[in-house]
Amino acid sequence: MLQCRPAQEFSFGPRALKEALVSSDPTLRRLYASAFTPAERLFLAEAYNPQRTLFCTLLIHTAFDWLLSRPEAPEDFQTFHASLPPRRQSPARKHIYLQPIDLSEGPAGGALLEYLRDCTEAFFLGLQVRCLPSVAAASIHCSSRPSQDSDRLQLHTDGILSFLKSSKPGDALCVLGLTLSDLYPCEAWSFTFGKFLPGHEVGVCSFARFSGELLQPGPGASEAAPVQAAADGPETPVQDPGQTLCFSALGLAQCCKVTCHELCHLLGLGSCRWLGCIMQGALSLEEALRRPLDLCPICLRKLQHILGFKLIDRYKRVAPEPGPRRAPSNGGRGRRGAGGTKGGRLFSGKDGKYPL
């Protein structure tokens, strides 16, 4: 009989976590004190509180987890700050562009894009998010191959990244391609959720593995996924020219997570190894499901440094409202129904189902 070993903690001590957040550099410590109110600093200090309840310690479930398979030095705020290029944001470059690839712009596909636009505008408070017209993968001339675990084609990421780099709008802070097709970065990899081009602010991510037919959470996958209970609920069909994929509320939350993860990379954030964080890497669907929906305090400080938002303003947009949810009045096809971010409902709709 197969025996499951308990997950092992992967953790840093309070001193290391405090230094990663606040920094040992006097200039960056003064910057920390001036950037956040006392209440905000108290909230962020949960990062190095041994009895913390707001943020989770990382867990290793298998020897193939990303933490062990991709060993690298963790990126603290000081390292992040030193690696930042000259401030790229300007009044003319405040737009995140989402570039659909082979994604239908009909009612269902349009609602998915609107959901993702709302998610990213709340997550990256202060930036405007625009959706570009969908382009056909055939027009990009990227390589493809048969998938190793399905009957669909996989698209090679490099051809897509080259296209996004060459077609990037002049007022774009970054551009992220979105596709329902599975992706692969090289022949040795079976798939990837996303990839970005360092220094060019373009990336691409795939939602193929988050559809109903592939999204089968394994044991432990729900530990950091509060929308897990919706996985068995009604699914939403989204079509592209060659396929129809269905997304439960759990699948839609994963689409939002991978989108925000890649956009954080495009804005300069590295992968996170400090605490449970949306910036953790994921080499499997199970790892992707375990990723939380938001940033740890260390990565939150990085994003706040770039965008300059107030923490309370951002959490008002991304945090769910308490109390019952209101059903959409237009048959579930509203641009900002119960699943949108207006009023603070970012990751779930009425009864946990996103109304497309």
pLDDT over 70, % of the chain: 75
In a domain, 1, yes or no: no
Least confident of 72-76, 123-127, 333-337: 333-337
Could you tell me which residue, 270 or 320, shows the higher pLDDT? 270
Whether 149 is in a domain gets the answer yes
Confidence of residue 349 (pLDDT cuts 50, 70, 90): very low
| Between 155 and 336, residue with greater pLDDT | 155
The answer, yes or no, to whether residue 277 has pLDDT greater than 50, is yes
2: buried, middle or exposed (CB in 10 Å: 19+, 13-18, 0-12)? exposed
> What pLDDT score does 214 carry?
54
Alpha-carbon dihedral angle through residues 129, 135, 137, 142, given to the nearest 10 degrees = -70
Banded pLDDT at 10 (limits 50, 70, 90): confident
- pLDDT the model gives residue 165: 94
Domain assignment present for residue 344? The answer is no
Domain membership of residue 347 (yes or no) is no
Residue 146 backbone phi and psi in degrees, to 5: -65, 140
Greatest mean pLDDT range, 32-46, 57-71, 169-183: 32-46
> Model confidence at 224, in pLDDT bands (50, 70, 90)?
very low
Domain count, the chain: 1
Question: Which is catalytic among the residues 201, 262, 286, 321?
Answer: 262
Rounded mean pLDDT, 141-154: 80
For the chain, give percent helix, strand, coil, nearest 5: 35, 15, 45
238-257 pLDDT, tens digit per residue, is 544 445 567 788 889 999 99
- pLDDT band, very low/low/confident/very high, at 24 (cuts 50, 70, 90): very high
Handedness of CA 65, 70, 71, 72 (dihedral sign): negative
In a domain, 222, yes or no: yes
* Cα–Cα distance, 129 to 338 (Å, whole number): 20
Predicted confidence at residue 26, as pLDDT, reads: 97
State yes or no: is 262 an active-site residue: yes
191 belongs to a structural domain: yes
For residue 350, being part of any structural domain is answered with: no
Contact by Cβ (8 Å): 349, 249:
yes
Average pLDDT, the chain: 80
Q: What's 132's DSSP letter? A: P
List of residues 6+ apart from 148 with CB closer than 8 A? 190, 191
User: How many CB atoms within 10 Å of residue 206?
Assistant: 26
What CATH number corresponds to the domain at position 150? Answer: 3.40.390.10
Strand, helix or coil for residue 69? helix
Give residue 46's domain range.
Answer: 10-320+330-339
Overall average pLDDT of the 12-36 stretch: 97
Q: Is residue 38 part of a domain?
A: yes
The pTM is what? 0.81
